[in-house]
């Protein structure tokens, strides 16, 4: 009986010390499980090798875009460009956040989300949110319209390069912050084209339901980064396990090119072939096929983000429709010094930096470009603080966990 009592006490003591305290090296128990993630609207791009260098038509860059073999880590990418309706979710979130600061009387929908009854504040003479609307001389035709100049959002990022190369610095000095106005610049439709009537697109392109599934434009590089930061916070707020440490971001220039090729190395176009028409003579992307013949491909301006056939990775409009921002800083001779493992050239230019330092690489060509810019390897750039009617973006997310072979 005494032996049984001693054994029981020993078991209690052992259990009270926790299951890890048994003298064995077994690692930390009760760790969160990780089965990977599968974000809605994204496709998986497996790890692989990409050959970069000058295009057949890129005669002027033959001596500076040196051929090079590089390796790309697997990642997710949006199967379409970010659409007006997807971006509108961001705009509405910022709008509601401003209202939440001014209001106390919020209500929830059936999913528990706090919402603002905008129909009440727009249709009735309630003055609680009056400062969010145009007032006095700024009103047009007596309409009660949102003052979009107030749509400001602050995003953050860590300067990992500075952290790696500086010692004894505070963490706060490595955290960078930027505040941007996130409302699309709808005036790009007028500004980009002199002596051209595009005012209907300025008035309707972002808000009219007819354009919900069209790619958002009028977004500069900094605002695109603000969107990816918000999207990361949105994702993490609704994940139960809370172990996703990776962030939605813009793809690097070479991630973009690797994804555009769709597994066909050295293919000039995302569909694999060397021609811009199929065997029936139909154009395979939305671009400018002739001199002023914009509608020949089926769209005079942009088209729906999932128009035309996707490439073999399931990505739509990697050529044409809208050119796309990447995270990469543009440098003509970058291929001569980039690393061959996940190459990336990044520079967060400030307002006081030179114009040359503000250049960011764009890829894919657009609805207003000739076929040369549609080629997978064609490089071009735009200033990070400019907005255009022909530049949009899509997001990427680094893949964690399993290797490529786990999918075979």
- Whether this model's pTM surpasses 0.75: yes
Per-residue pLDDT, averaged over 284-293, amounts to 90
Q: Which domains does the chain have, with CATH numbers?
A: 42-83+182-407 (3.90.1580.10)
What's the CA gap between 17 and 11, in Å, rounded? 10
Say what the pLDDT of residue 13 is. Answer: 45
What's the CA gap between 251 and 326, in Å, rounded? 5
Using one digit for the tens of pLDDT, what is the confidence trace for 255-269?
999 999 999 988 899
Say what the pLDDT of residue 356 is. Answer: 93
Is-contact 221 385, C-beta < 8 A?
A: yes
Return the number of other C-beta atoms located less than 10 Å from residue 259's C-beta: 27
Say what the pLDDT of residue 120 is. Answer: 62
What's the CA gap between 86 and 304, in Å, rounded? 13
Helix H or strand E encompassing 380? strand 380-383
What's the CA gap between 182 and 227, in Å, rounded? 8
Using one digit for the tens of pLDDT, what is the confidence trace for 41-88?
999 999 999 999 876 566 666 666 778 899 999 999 999 999 999 999
Q: How far is CA 277 from the centre of its chain?
A: 29
Nearest to 79 by CA among 316, 262, 260, 392: 316
> Which structure tokens are listed for 264?
């066909």
Using one digit for the tens of pLDDT, what is the confidence trace for 142-195?
888 888 999 999 999 998 888 888 888 888 989 999 999 999 999 999 999 999
What's the CA gap between 185 and 177, in Å, rounded? 22
What's the CA gap between 233 and 238, in Å, rounded? 9
What proportion of the chain, given as a percentage, has pLDDT over 70? 84
> Which structure tokens are listed for 199?
């005012």
> Which structure tokens are listed for 307?
């128009």
Question: How does 60-77 read in b/e, with b if 16+ C-beta sit within 10 Å?
Answer: ebeeebbeeebebebbbb
Per-residue pLDDT, averaged over 37-42, amounts to 88
Longest Cα–Cα distance in the chain: 102
Mean pLDDT of the chain: 86
Which residues, in sequence order, are CB contacts of 249 under 8 Å at separation 6+?
225, 228, 327, 395, 396, 397
Per-residue pLDDT, averaged over 374-397, amounts to 95
Per-residue pLDDT, averaged over 398-405, amounts to 66
Using one digit for the tens of pLDDT, what is the confidence trace for 202-256?
999 999 999 999 999 999 999 999 999 999 999 888 876 556 678 999 999 999 9
Say what the pLDDT of residue 16 is. Answer: 46
Say what the pLDDT of residue 144 is. Answer: 82
Say what the pLDDT of residue 123 is. Answer: 57
Per-residue pLDDT band for 30 (boundaries 50, 70, 90) equals: confident
Is-contact 182 94, C-beta < 8 A?
A: yes
Selected residue with higher pLDDT from 232 and 131: 232
Q: Which residue reads 């199929």 in tokens?
A: 278
Is-contact 389 78, C-beta < 8 A?
A: no
Say what the pLDDT of residue 78 is. Answer: 98
Is-contact 360 193, C-beta < 8 A?
A: no
Selected residue with higher pLDDT from 309 and 37: 309
Top-ranked range on mean pLDDT: pick from 129-133, 236-240, 282-286: 282-286
What's the CA gap between 21 and 27, in Å, rounded? 11
């Amino acid at each position: 009986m005494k032996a049984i009592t001693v054994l029981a006490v020993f078991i209690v003591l052992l259990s009270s010390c926790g299951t890890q305290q048994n003298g064995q090296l077994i690692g930390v128990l009760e760790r969160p499980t990780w089965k990977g993630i599968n974000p809605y609207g994204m496709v998986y791009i497996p790890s692989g090798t990409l050959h970069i260098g000058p295009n057949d038509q890129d005669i002027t860059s033959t001596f500076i875009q040196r051929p090079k073999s590089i390796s790309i880590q697997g990642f997710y990418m949006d199967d379409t460009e970010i659409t007006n309706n997807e971006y509108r979710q961001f705009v509405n979130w910022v709008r509601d956040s401003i209202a939440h600061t001014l209001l106390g009387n919020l209500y929830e929908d059936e999913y528990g989300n706090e919402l603002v009854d905008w129909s009440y504040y727009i249709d009735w003479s309630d003055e609680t949110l009056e400062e969010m609307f145009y007032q006095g001389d700024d009103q047009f035709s007596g309409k009660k319209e949102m003052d979009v100049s107030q749509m400001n959002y602050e995003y953050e990022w860590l300067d990992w390069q500075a952290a790696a190369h500086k010692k004894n610095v505070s963490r706060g000095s490595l955290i960078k912050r930027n505040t941007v106005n996130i409302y699309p610049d709808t005036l790009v439709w007028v500004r980009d084209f002199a002596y051209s009537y595009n005012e209907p697109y300025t008035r309707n392109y972002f808000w009219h339901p007819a354009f919900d599934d069209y790619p958002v434009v009028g977004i500069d590089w900094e605002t695109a980064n603000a969107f990816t930061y918000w999207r990361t916070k949105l994702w993490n707020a609704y994940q139960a396990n809370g172990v996703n440490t990776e962030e939605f971001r813009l793809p690097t220039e070479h991630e973009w090119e690797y994804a555009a090729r769709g597994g066909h190395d050295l293919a000039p176009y995302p569909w694999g072939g060397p021609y811009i028409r199929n065997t029936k003579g139909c154009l395979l992307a939305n671009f400018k096929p002739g001199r002023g013949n914009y509608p020949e491909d089926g769209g005079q301006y942009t088209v729906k983000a999932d128009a035309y056939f996707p490439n073999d990775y399931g990505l739509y409009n990697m050529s044409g429709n809208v050119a796309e921002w990447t995270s990469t800083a543009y440098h003509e001779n970058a291929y001569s010094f980039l690393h061959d493992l996940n190459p990336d050239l990044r520079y967060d230019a400030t307002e006081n930096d030179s114009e040359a330092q503000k250049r960011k690489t764009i890829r894919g060509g657009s609805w207003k470009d000739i076929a040369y810019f549609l080629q997978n390897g064609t490089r071009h750039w735009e200033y990070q603080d400019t907005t255009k009617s022909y530049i949009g973006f899509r997001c990427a997310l680094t893949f964690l966990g399993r290797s490529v072979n786990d999918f075979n």
